[in-house]
A and B are shown apart, each in its own frame.
Chain A
Amino acid sequence: MIPELGQFALIVALFVTVVQSVVPLVGAIRGDRTWMDMARPAALAQFALIATAFGALMSCYVTSDFSVLNVVQNSHTDKPLIYKISGVWANHEGSMLLWVLILSIYGMAVSVFGGNLPPGLRARALSVQAMIAFGFLLFILFTSNPFARVDPAPLNGDGLNPLLQDPGLAFHPPFLYLGYVGFSMAFSFAIAALMEGRVDAAWARWVRPWTLVAWCALTLGIAMGSWWAYYTLGWGGWWYWDPVENASFMPWLSGTALLHSSIVVEKRDTLKAWTILLAIVTFSLSLLGTFLVRSGVLTSVHSFAADPTRGVFVLALLVVVTGGSLILFAIRGPTLKGGGLFTPLSREGSLLFNNVLMSTAAGTVLLGTLYPLFADALEMGKVSVGAPFFNAVFIPLMVPMVVTMAVAPLLSWKRGDFAGALGRLKFAFAATVAVAAGTWIAPGGGSGPLWAGRGLGLAAWLAAGTLVEWAERVRLFRAPFSETADRILRLPRSAYGMTVAHIGVAVVIAGITGSSAWTQEKIQVMHPGDVVSLHGYDLRLEGTEDNLQGPNYSILRAHFSVTSGGRPVADLYPEKRMYRQPPRPTTDAAIRTNLLGDLYAVIGDPDGTGGFVTRLYFNPLVPWIFIGAIIMVVGGLVSLTDRRYRVGAPLRTARAMAAQKGRA
């Protein structure tokens, strides 16, 4: 009964999206307010219906209803409750349902918080949101029905891939989708603006916070995935340039560019067409990411051709959305004339420069990810494009960008004083040289590759430059302390957001450099009592325990005692788990961090003589990668609390002004 209820709700939601796509749009064209306002209740209804369907699927999972095929394929009664819940989106059908659920949540947000939007813009944007939802609901109902029944119902399910039974990965997809789908807001408003032929500061002021929400969620989602890879894959790597990773990284890159160019639209009323294009491209890359991962095309062009129904559907959706919006852009884009003038050496100019680099980076990742498919399809032979290619091309693009990131905030709008800005960065320059030289001289620093010092120097440049900008804004040490204190309190939150997020980037760069330059690794067979020395630590294998029981797996656990100069430091308990259903092994690395580096231990297979293969690593600065990503997200959230972006703020300002006028 419950699954049928869910499916019925989805079908009704499909019809609601039809109404929501057509009626408000016609209303906006004819200037009929009643028709336009139809969009708001429709968006609410759409959310309620999709949430009902999602709730129905979740209830099937929680109660282990094995008459539903999807539950049979992805669940098992032994699974802990949290993985029964995450099982809902740990499969194709359920994850698509999550996709439309999040889309409808954003639509509802427009409907609830969008009271201050111009009615025409709101109606058109909600209509575009509904068109996207229509496409995806059609996709779910016709090719990926999560509520399909199976008869007779089996006694138990097949279980969930053990790799997915992990807290880091359980909540990775929702955050990723909050990001992907969040860019649909910018997209819908971009299309609506193209239809209206008008992009102004009010438009940017609405789009920017939602882009920021999506960006924060996507950053967190990517960081969670990377962190998961780090501690479960068992050799201390955290980024692989895998096509599936690239799929989420491309929208992140262009989304970051969008975030910055929308600042220019808001503050300076220029770069409008470019920003609209970025909004279209970012959401298209999100769709492309969904297509790449969902269609099986990545494994090989041929496996895609073997079972193409779903792939072709998503591809068609992609072509309609991207192609349609690009055609609209080609027609209407040139009419979007910007107002604010600026010279190349200005804040706008440097933002544009970084936009070009960011977009090139996104295009490069796209090219590298798709090239093997094209080469295969065009019979040019099989080509591998892996990490060495991406590192070779990506890093040269990122270095000038990071260098500019420190200078740009010091340039004023319109026409900046470039020489003056460089002069004010004397301290940052000194810090860069000191860090780069210090890295080289420091004990062990010279053992790394030559670029290690440059990498850390770059991080120092960005961090110091960002702090210099902040110090200048609050007139630190230049004005009496009371004035500085006052400025510190009054500085807008969005300025703090920028400072914090850019420092986060510096921390990530330091982490990447450290982990690539100085990782130490020891691979060996150890018997109980054996000691391995690594980075000044002695790791002694005290023993192993076999056949410990987890909720749905058995555990082989090793115990290492770690000492440094005879002084005990820590005990590490790496595990190897064997899941019962499906029977597959996973590793659980033991990590001891002191924030400057991780001691990382993995237990492998027995060698048959009482010994075990062990892998012991010292991974310097790796925690900084994840800490830096979290700092970036915090920066985004701080910026979101800026009262200028607080949802509904313009409305209150307008009311206050009206009230003042009334009094006057």
Chain B
Amino acid sequence: MRLGVRLRGLFMGLMLLAVAGPVMAVQPDEVLKDPAMEARARALGRDLRCMVCQNQSIDDSDADLARDLRVLLRQRLVAGDSDEQAKQYLVDRYGDYVLLRPPFKTTTLVLWLGPAALLLAGGWGAVMFFRRRTASAGPAGERPLDETEQRRLKRLLSNDREG
């Protein structure tokens, strides 16, 4: 039975689209009085990861750690930090892992440039495709009919006349 309990965690994956329980994230007692500042806190919270959760932002998560981070973030904003400073404050303590949008640096080069590289490769492939086709088919993209096609054309035309 112990085995069963251990494995069960593994099984749930597929059906759990978002690996979450009912989300009861931001609590009323955390909300700041100033709506503009609260809106900033919410927007920032969506970009910060709850590190003990699977791919959830601190804004979505009901974990204790997420709550602590939300409160901490609001404290920084109240203390007068800009959005960037507040974010940096958390990065200094928890590392880049806390950012759901990883910063652009050497270790994330492939991640950020990958999509552009894929697009360029695709575009280059398409250009090569057209080049090869036009090269083999003459400048206007058309080629004279080959023998079988000529014969077929003749046959079709004569059929037409007969019909």
Contact = CB atoms under 8 A, between A and B. Distances in A.
B118 A384 contact: no
A367 B107 CA distance: 14
Interface in A354-390: 356-357, 359-360, 363-364, 367-368, 371, 375, 380-389
Nearest to B49: A384
A397 interface: yes
A294 interface: yes
Interface string A63-100: 00000010011100000000000000011100100000
Interface string B100-112: 1110000110110
A80 B75 CA distance: 48
Interface string B1-43: 1001001101111111111111111111001000000000000
B98 interface: yes
Given A363-B114, A368-B111, A243 B28 contact: no
Interface string A574-599: 00100000001111000000000000
Interface in B55-72: 55-57, 60
Given A235-B60, A371-B110, A360 B115 contact: yes
B126 A353 contact: yes
A540 interface: no
B15 A296 contact: no
A247 to B, nearest CB: 9
A209 interface: no
Contact of A384 (B12, B98, B141): B98
B8 to A, nearest CB: 6
A154 B5 CA distance: 14
Nearest to A273: B129
A294 B11 CA distance: 7
B100 A384 contact: yes
A635 to B, nearest CB: 24
A605 B24 CA distance: 9
Contacts of B143: 341
A495 interface: no
A228 interface: yes
A233 B115 contact: no
B4 A244 contact: no
B67 to A, nearest CB: 13
A613 B54 contact: no
B21 A389 contact: no
Given A294-B13, A383-B108, A388 B18 contact: no
Interface stretch (A158-166, A189-197, A471-479): A158-166
B131 to A, nearest CB: 11
A371 B4 contact: no
A384 B97 contact: yes
A371 B111 CA distance: 7
Nearest to B29: A525
B80 interface: no
A381 B18 contact: no
Given A352-B126, A384-B102, A364 B114 contact: yes
Contact of A381 (B97, B110, B122): B97
Given A234-B24, A356-B126, A341 B13 contact: no
A615 to B, nearest CB: 8
Contacts of B31: 523
B115 A92 contact: no
A229 interface: yes
Interface string A228-244: 11001111010011111
Nearest to B14: A293
Nearest to B25: A235
Interface in A441-496: none
Contacts of B23: 233-235, 237
Contacts of A298: 13, 54
B163 interface: no
Given A233-B20, A584-B21, A385 B102 contact: yes
A393 interface: yes
Given A73-B8, A244-B16, A341-B137, A388 B119 contact: no
A12 B20 CA distance: 40
Contacts of B110: 367, 371
B96 interface: yes
B84 to A, nearest CB: 15
Contacts of A234: 22-24
Contact of A299 (B22, B54, B100, B130): B54
Contacts of B14: 95, 173, 244, 293-294
Nearest to A352: B126
Contact of B15 (A172, A307, A384, A523): A172
B86 interface: no
Interface in A488-526: 523-525
B93 to A, nearest CB: 14
Interface in A523-560: 523-525
A430 B47 CA distance: 37
A323 interface: no
A256 interface: no
Contact of B97 (A154, A296, A383): A383
B15 A164 contact: yes
A367 B115 CA distance: 8
A37 interface: no
Nearest to A243: B55
A307 B7 CA distance: 9
A384 B25 contact: no
B123 A356 contact: yes
Given A244-B18, A307-B10, A371-B111, 5 more contacts: A229-B18, A234-B24, A235-B60, A388-B101, A585-B22
27 contacts: A73-B7, A92-B7, A164-B12, A172-B17, A173-B14, A226-B17, A229-B18, A233-B23, A234-B24, A240-B17, A240-B55, A242-B17, A296-B10, A299-B54, A341-B141, A343-B130, A356-B125, A359-B122, A364-B114, A367-B110, A367-B111, A371-B111, A382-B95, A384-B98, A385-B111, A523-B31, A605-B24
Interface of B: 1, 4, 7-8, 10-28, 31, 46-47, 49, 54-57, 60, 95-102, 107-108, 110-111, 114-115, 118-119, 122-123, 125-126, 129-130, 133, 137, 141-143
The 5 closest A-B pairs by CB, nearest first: A386-B100, A388-B101, A356-B122, A587-B22, A92-B11
